[in-house]
Amino acid sequence: MRIFYIDESYDKKVYSLCGVIVTAKSYGKINRDFNKFLKKTCNLNEDDELKGDWLFNGRFNFKGLSLDERSEKIIKVAHFLAASTITKFIYTYICDYIDKVEAHLKLLELLISEAARITSKIKSSSTTKQLLAIFDQIDGTTEQNIYLELASRKKEIIKKYDKSCAFIDYGYSGISKYSRFLQIADFVAYFLRNYISTPFESNLFIKEADERKIQMLKNFKRIISKKLLMKLCKK
């Protein structure tokens, strides 16, 4: 069985979803190793949350660290993820979106389709072709209303792919604070979305970003590229 962790990241320009596929067999070891790694590299305890935004911008646990120090940690995390037995990072995004709910649903269908395609090609028993989807919980009153709509419609999206990939139930809602793999989905989604949104060159309207940030983002994408499936969703 494979577990598919899904989280979103968005700004005013780009809306994106990232799915992390991991086998149930390798889940425990990756989780234990990652906790040890985060304690050594980022001084995060097992119950401390890893968030890309905090590390990228020097907030909370990473307050007081220089950009170079934060970039070094980000790249170390990328190397860990690339070397792990995580099966795949599936990242989908849409630019200049209008409606957040519709963007999420459109990307979710693309994400589920790719996960089902990958899982269906496994040359093994039918039980290994089972996929359990875990979605991050959305907070806030407005966000809760969005989530209720997503919850009712994501079942139909997932059900479409039952013939090629046997989904267990239709997905569960997790809480990223207590799930390292939802945190990984958030982490990868955050830095790939920044990779897309960050101006690498100046033009009449915007100034290029700090060269150190540009290089960090390019290195992050390059390091995880062997496990990465990245797809632009057309409008």
Mean pLDDT taken over the chain = 86
Both structure tokens of 92: 């989908």
What is the predicted pLDDT for the residue at 73?
97
- Compute the average pLDDT of residues 45-55: 93
Reply yes or no on whether the pLDDT at 105 is more than 80: yes
What is the predicted pLDDT for the residue at 174?
59
Better pLDDT: 233 or 167: 233
- For the whole prediction, is pTM greater than 0.85? yes
Q: Which domains does the chain have, with CATH numbers?
A: 2-232 (3.30.420.10)
Say what percent of the chain tops pLDDT 70.
Answer: 83
Helix (H) or strand (E) holding 21: strand 14-23
Phi first, then psi, for residue 180 (nearest 5°) are -60, -35
Reply yes or no on whether the pLDDT at 25 is more than 80: yes
Distance of CA 187 to CAs 8, 16, 79, 94, 201, Å? 10, 12, 13, 18, 24
- Per residue in 119-135, pLDDT (tens digit) is 877 766 555 678 888 88
- Per residue in 134-192, pLDDT (tens digit) is 887 665 555 566 666 666 777 777 777 776 666 655 555 656 777 899 999 999 999 99
Separation of alpha carbons 118 and 120, rounded Å: 6
- For residue 145, the one-letter residue type is N
Separation of alpha carbons 16 and 96, rounded Å: 11
Both structure tokens of 119: 């899982």
